[in-house]
Amino acid sequence: MKMRGLISAGVVLLAAASAAVAFARTPAAATADSWEEALAAFAAADLKHAPEPGAVLFVGSSSIRLWDGLEEQFEDARVLKRGFGGSRLTDCVKHLDRLVVNYRPRLVLLYAGDNDLAEGGSPEDVLTRVQAFAEGVHGRLPETRIMFISIKPSPARQALLHKARAANDLVRAYADKHPLVDYVDVFTPMLAADGSPRAELFRKDKLHLNDQGYALWRKIIRPLVR
pLDDT digits (tens, 9 = 90+) for 77-120: 999 999 987 889 999 999 999 999 999 999 999 999 999 999 99
Is residue 80 classed as helix, strand or coil in its secondary structure? strand
Query: What's the maximum distance between 2 C-alpha atoms anywhere in the chain?
Result: 81
* Backbone torsions φ then ψ of 82, nearest 5 degrees: -135, 65
Specify the CATH number for 51-225; select among 3.90.1150.10, 3.40.225.10, 3.40.50.1110, 3.30.430.20.
3.40.50.1110
- pLDDT at residue 33 in the model: 54
Cα separation values, 199 from 56, 61, 85, 112, 203, Å = 29, 20, 21, 20, 8
pTM (two decimals): 0.83
3-state secondary structure of 49: coil
Q: Are 63 and 83 in contact (CB under 8 A)?
A: yes
Mean pLDDT value across the chain: 86
Q: Please state whether 9 falls in left (phi above 0), alpha (psi between -120 and 50) or beta.
A: alpha
pLDDT tens for 34-78 read: 677 877 878 888 778 878 999 999 999 999 999 999 999 998 799
Query: Is pLDDT above 50 for 10?
Result: no
| Three-state secondary structure of 139-191 | HHCCCCEEEEECCCCCHHHHHHHHHHHHHHHHHHHHHHHCCCEEEECCCHHHE
